A and B are shown apart, each in its own frame.
Chain A
């Protein structure tokens, strides 16, 4: 959705074939799309801060049903956290090879990001269905469950958006081949992906590790 940078008219025949090629200078020197992504991230920080605060307030207020320490499976979640962090490494490599104009490696690492994201979502599916089926902890069983699902579900939705975005980048690259090394687009998607990972590190700490404190 961030594709439509419109550069000011005086940039001559600047047209949108390869947005980073003509680069009408901005006041800050940062591309508009990248700037907008940083702005969105600022907003998202407040979004997740609210969700995390909400979870911390409610986690021990469940009236019946399981409590946090009774349901979390730290080994599974550690694995999925590791997987998500490694997808960030793949994201760095994808951008690197995009900048280096190495088509196959760029596509390969983009695919790794997609797969990493999908594996994470798979883990989340397994975790949620375990909670619901084995622990009888549905969304509205108690207030702990509600705030837990709201927080981690919102994060999962962000990962889903990231996966769709990276999939779109991969598809575009597969169709257009050597003509399409849109580094700015990949970098903006990367910013988003890394942000979603950083948020998960906080969630992992606050939600899953704090039960041991």
Chain B
């Protein structure tokens, strides 16, 4: 075991050091790299779909493949790209922003990452065996039952989601505890940076929403593996039960995707306009309001199933209500920019475009909150346009902004700004060219999730335009990759505080040392670092000399390989459900062996010196 490897002898390089790391910063990097790799796969899915749809009656890919691409594109972008990239930012920056040495449970943090990675690999291995889930990212019953999907395709989806959910739950408990328990002295709740606040609300949503999808996935896997009838109307089950359970999780999930992005944008805009975030307290309250209302609107995904006027009216009203805190946020972002000395860095461009694109998607969202209008738009390309404006123009643009903003802190080098701006405009134009015409296609009646269409529907032009936009975006992604690697290698040395930042991470070296802070800071202000640099009238202050640092006070948690072993055990438990074809003994044996690995590594973990 590694109990003897103390901080002094900590191996800093090599694969083994990454496998056993419990450093929140390294885990953050692991999350980011995995998320970007999964994004490449999900992006290729999208390009293939757009290629197929560019022209009518095209037969580049089959209907079955198209269904698989639709499913995997949605599932991967949500669970394997936006969520883990957000988690990368939570991991790397939460302790730095709150002035802590690490998260509350460093080894659980590593465990979350490895479970996530194995879950993602399990889901993607469906490509390798040619049994790609093709039931949509929502996997509506009863299409998911054995009789309609006899191969393991749905098992890949259900076990992938189950395992990924476990990873998110563990990490959510960890970060909830970290944020509420490990803040530096003086950092009251309303002195926390806004990104930490949106992170906190996101963790609450995860903690309360994930158990619901967990139960739904257990029910579905029981239906498939043991022949129960939860979603089989012939056995007395409810098909709609799945929709309710899925969206009770699925709608909070939407806010799980967007809230971290909102936090990142708030940080970037305040820094770029050299002003405090306008209405910080109101931003905090509106984040909480969005989180709270997020649990009361799930059935607006189901206006067309016939829930009756009362349910429709209530969920419609609750959905409209969410526009209020969201509108407050948009107002505050604009007011943050107002009168600021704005520097249009690439990060700032992404953040500003977030505000514009998200408003756009938000407006079409309000349209859908009205059941009669929703009934017209339901399952049409209008909805595709809507949620891509919120999740792509919104969440993804903000996350890219976050990468440009924090890349210097993580790597010590700046990303190339001119190249970044070219990439931004390619993304921005490509995105709008792809998704704006989908509004037109939607109101012209083009349904979602069709793999081809007849030439006389009047959809030809806009479909071609959409596809052209998608390739423009792909070019942008390619430029991003070039910029990323070039900057890692040759980027300008960043220094500690390249953006004249406001929050504590900019007080640290780039990249920060393994123990983060030499001396845990004492916080007196919101935007603590700014107030240390500048007096109230905006003049530069003479910085107080750094407090004396005694290296012997630093204790770092020991690296551990039990997280990856335990995560592997969890993967094995799920794998057993794929093996009945090889005989029940092998299937059950694999699951039981997995459970024993979980148990054994759990014990080893508990008795290991942290």
Contact = CB atoms under 8 A, between A and B. Distances in A.
Interface of A: 1-16, 26-28, 30, 32, 35-36, 39-40, 42-44, 46-47, 50-51, 54, 57-58, 61-63, 139-140, 142-143, 146-147, 150, 154, 164, 168, 172
What is the interface residue range for chain B against chain A?
Answer: 35 or more
B157 to A, nearest CB: 19
Contact of A46 (B103, B212, B515, B520): B212
A26 B181 contact: yes
A6 B102 contact: yes
Contact of B181 (A32, A51, A164): A32
Interface stretch (B232-240, B334-342, B476-484, B577-585): B232-240
Contacts of B210: 43
27 contacts: A1-B606, A3-B610, A4-B105, A4-B557, A4-B605, A8-B102, A8-B520, A9-B101, A9-B555, A12-B553, A13-B553, A14-B555, A27-B183, A28-B180, A35-B104, A36-B104, A39-B176, A40-B173, A44-B211, A50-B245, A58-B236, A139-B222, A142-B235, A143-B228, A143-B235, A143-B236, A154-B218
A11 B604 CA distance: 26
Interface centre among A6, A39, A43, A146 (most CB of B within 10 A): A6
Contacts of B553: 9-10, 12-13
B74 interface: no
A16 B610 contact: yes
B212 A50 contact: yes
Interface of B: 100-108, 169, 173-174, 176-177, 180-183, 207-212, 214-216, 218-219, 222, 226-230, 235-238, 241, 245, 515-517, 519-520, 552-557, 599, 602-603, 605-607, 609-610
A32 B237 contact: no
A11 B555 contact: yes
Q: What are the 10 A-B residue pairs with the smallest beta carbon separation, nearest first? A: A47-B211, A146-B228, A61-B236, A26-B181, A4-B610, A9-B101, A143-B236, A140-B227, A46-B211, A50-B215
Given A32-B182, A57-B241, A168-B606, 10 more contacts: A1-B108, A27-B181, A35-B104, A42-B207, A44-B211, A50-B211, A57-B238, A147-B230, A164-B599, A168-B603
Contacts of B169: 43
Contacts of A10: 101, 519-520, 553
Nearest to A8: B101
A62 B237 CA distance: 9
Nearest to A144: B236
A149 to B, nearest CB: 9
Contacts of A2: 105
B230 A39 contact: no
A2 B101 CA distance: 19
Nearest to B515: A9
